[in-house]
Amino acid sequence: MKKVTYYASAILALGLIAYFTLRQSQSTLNGRETRFAPDNVERINRIVVSGPQGEVEITLQNDTWMLGTGKANQERIAQTLLLASNLKVAAPVPLESEDSIARDLENGTRFDLYDGNKRLKSLQLCTHNHQLYGRLHHARHSYRLTITGYPQVDFTRLVEPSKTNWEDNLLFPFPATDIRSICLQYGTMPAKSFCIRVDDLQHPALQGNQGEIDAERTNPELLSQYLYSFDHIRYEPWLAPSFVPDTSDAFFTLKIETRSNTRYTLNGFLAINDSTGRPHQRVFIGSTTKNGLITLKFNDFDPLLLPVDYFLKNE
């Protein structure tokens, strides 16, 4: 009888230990340490991102996000705040990875959100084995995170603390009226190449691969429309290391000269998957002297890759 009582007591004790351990774990997962998403996104008017690469501060001024004295990338900030508001704890950090993840977090990105000088949320973030991990400022525990509705987004790359990551990244920062000439050259299809040159009265003239084309053969309305097609195009840093530019030949080369004698040259390459050899269906890889490799959205740029015949009247 004593043995039965002993075993029953032992089982009861183990059960109580397991219960309170589970309850404490659940309490931790449901506590303030796990509230990574900001509560009031509309109150946020200052963002500070810092890490080993440096620090970037973005402020909201008159409904416009500013980076120093210049405009920041409004779309990127809106996207970042949307994703941040959907951050959620997926699981505790695995015990076997605790030390390595702690080191990655120490060398990761700090993401601070403010209302004026009042800090609303402070996150320390890192990516470890393709998973997002985070810890709230001054919290004891770290967690694997997910973004509800956007599980594949690499959030640490999105909030990288480099100035170029947050700049208003217009590819061609000048008005259409400042364009003196545009030349589009196709590496493998030279017969489709063309130049548009604009005189001081804003009259465009078309030049093909064989020289200038008679104005009577061209459609001046289409030429003028084309000049106004570049003022909305933005780029992103190239963030797809599994794709490489097809450097055997540029798919296209775009050269623009402005009336202030500023020259822009953009080489566009097909983005080729390094393992399969297949091209990316949604982006080109761009290359400029100033920005290095950049991402060009196919939907933005493909409508501009026209042949010289497009500007000719139906003959």
Domain ranges of the chain: 32-166, 176-311
pLDDT given at position 2:
47
Low-confidence ranges of the chain (pLDDT < 70): 1-33, 239, 247, 291, 315
CA–chain centroid gap for 190, Å, is 33
pTM of the full structure? 0.59
pLDDT given at position 7:
47
CB 233 within 8 A of CB 171: yes
Cα 305 from Cα 188, distance rounded (Å): 13
pLDDT given at position 12:
47
pLDDT given at position 238:
78
Looking only at the bridges linking them, the beta strands covering 87-92 and 243-245 are unpaired
- Please enumerate in sequence order all residues whose Cβ is within 8 A of that of 54, keeping only pairs 6 or more positions apart, or say none: 161, 162, 163
Q: What element of type H or E holds 102?
A: helix 98-106
Cα 66 from Cα 223, distance rounded (Å): 35
pLDDT given at position 239:
67
C-alpha distance from residue 230 to each of 286, 302, 303, 304, 311 (Å) = 15, 12, 11, 8, 17
CB 292 within 8 A of CB 225: no
What token pair was written down for 54? 């440096």
pLDDT given at position 10:
47
